[in-house]
Amino acid sequence: MAYLNSMLKEANYMKPPEGSGVAPGQVYKVVKGLYSLKQSGREWNLEFDRSLRRIGFFQVECTPCIYTKGHGEDLAIMVIYVDDTLVIAPRLETVLKVKKQIGQRWKMEDSGKVSHFLGIKISRDRTKRTMTIGQSGYIDQVLAKHLDRRTRPTTVQMKNIPEGTIIASKAQQKEYPVIVGKLLWIANSTRPDLSHTVSVLARHMREPSQEYYQAAEHVLRYLEGTKEVGLVYRANKSQEPLVTHSDTNWASDATIQRKSTSGSVVFVYGNPVTWKSATQKCVSLSAVEAEFIAATEATREVLFLKQLLRSIGIATSTPTVYLDNTGCIQVSKDPAQHWKLKHIDTKYHFVRNNVQEGRVQIKYVDTK
């Protein structure tokens, strides 16, 4: 009931419910952030923000849902999502102190050592110094809601989705965006192997064909067969601190006017932390151009993560962007090659500017 802790700035009124005994013609004035009011979430966030600042926390500028307090061994990091909060610190005493301070202001439920957060299962092996995240519990909920149990699970992804002309039924059209929305949450949280497939499904949220609905069902079957798959994070400082790999599939899809598909993944000390598969917004005239656009998006993401890591006390060296296209690397490093790409939007030259300024470095990687 977090919203009810906030006060509304605007005047809001509501009709009294039946049986309230309020005289005809009178209404209630709403002073608290009731659920279903559009401003309630924002007002609660501002109220919680003020309380965190009072006990010494500072909001991370590049990621407003993260707060920090202290330095070194006394560092405390707080991640908030509405009224769900995760406290991270090098020392248990720091975590307990923060919980006590919050508990003095708000009524809260202390779940102890984290095992789940936002539907993500988190487990640690302190001996091996690993942390594993997965969503088997959430996947079970999705399957129970949307998958016919008479179908068989599979461990093989669908490689291609055939184009169809038969529009899905009304019931399927209503269910399809719900399924895809849940698949997006899974793909973006713990399952990079689903990133491309779900990205393709998300292009057809309005009036999907039977083929796309069946493809969504296939992804559900794939999840049933691989629901225990997750990500294992290892403490390994022998790896590069911050790198991203970027690639494209040039002019790959005739159904989207031959626009290219970008793919990227960012690693922190060898551990994947963000990944993305998305259709580029413009048509590229060459593979070099498509790779250049993808490299720009990857550079933006890796620089954001460098800033975030610095905000929580983790310094990193110059990030590396790995590409498999020598032509793209050449135009990224050499301003003299500008004529080859002078027609594309100015924003895509962001990568070249950052290479010249020394904020990122570009390297070749063989992907054959």
**177 or 22: which leads in pLDDT:** 177
Nearest to residue 320, comparing CAs of 355, 367, 277?
Answer: 355
**Least confident range of 63-77, 160-174, 213-227, 268-282:** 160-174
- Show Cβ contacts of residue 321 under 8 Å, excluding neighbours closer than 6 positions: 243, 244, 246, 295, 298, 299, 302, 351, 360, 361, 362, 363
Q: What's the average model confidence in pLDDT over 130-158?
A: 93
The predicted structure's pLDDT at residue 336: 66
pLDDT at 52 (0 to 100): 96
CA-angle at 109, arms to 107 and 114, nearest 5°:
145
Amino acid identity at 191: R
Which domains are present in the chain?
A: 1-54 (no CATH), 56-114 (no CATH), 145-226 (no CATH), 238-364 (3.30.420.10)
What is the radius of gyration, based on Cα positions, of the chain?
24
Using 50, 70 and 90 to split pLDDT, how confident is the model at 256?
low
**Residue 62 vs residue 367, higher pLDDT:** 62
3-state secondary structure of 13: strand
Q: Tell me the sheet residues that pair with 264.
A: 246, 276
Higher pLDDT, 282 or 198: 198
Count of other CB atoms within 10 angstroms of residue 275:
20
To 10 degrees, what angle do helices 210-226 and 136-146 make? 140
Band (97; pLDDT cuts 50, 70, 90): very high
pLDDT digits (tens, 9 = 90+) for 292-306: 899 999 999 999 999
Distance CA 191, CA 214 (A): 20
pLDDT at 213 over 90: yes
- C-alpha span between 333 and 240 (Å, rounded): 21
Length of the chain: 368
Model pLDDT, residue 50:
95
| Ramachandran angles phi, psi of 54, nearest 5° | -65, -30
To the nearest 10°, the Cα dihedral for 359, 302, 204, 81? -130
DSSP secondary structure code for residue 88 in this structure: E
Percent over 90 (pLDDT), the chain: 68
**How large is the greatest C-alpha to C-alpha distance in the chain, in angstroms?**
80
- Residue that wins the pLDDT comparison between 72 and 231: 231
pLDDT value at 343 more than 90: no
Q: Distance between CA 67 and CA 127 in Å, rounded?
A: 29
In this prediction, residues 297-316 reach a mean pLDDT of 95
Contacts of 23 (CB under 8 A, 6+ apart): none
Express as a percent the part of the chain with pLDDT over 70.
97
Q: Looking at residue 284, what is its pLDDT?
A: 85
Give the residue carrying structure tokens 């399957």.
143
- Which residues lie below 8 Å from residue 253, measured CB to CB, with a gap of 6+? 259, 261, 279
pLDDT at residue 241 in the model: 94
Contact (Cβ atoms closer than 8 angstroms) between residue 353 and residue 314: no
Q: Which of 20-34, 155-169, 177-191 has the lowest mean pLDDT?
A: 155-169
Q: With 70 as the cut, is the pLDDT of residue 255 above it?
A: no
227-244 mean pLDDT: 94
- Report the pLDDT value the prediction gives residue 226, as an integer from 0 to 100: 97
Residue 165: alpha-carbon gap to chain centroid: 33
Categorize the per-residue pLDDT at 322 as very low, low, confident or very high, splitting at 50, 70 and 90. Answer: very high
* 3-class DSSP state of 69: strand
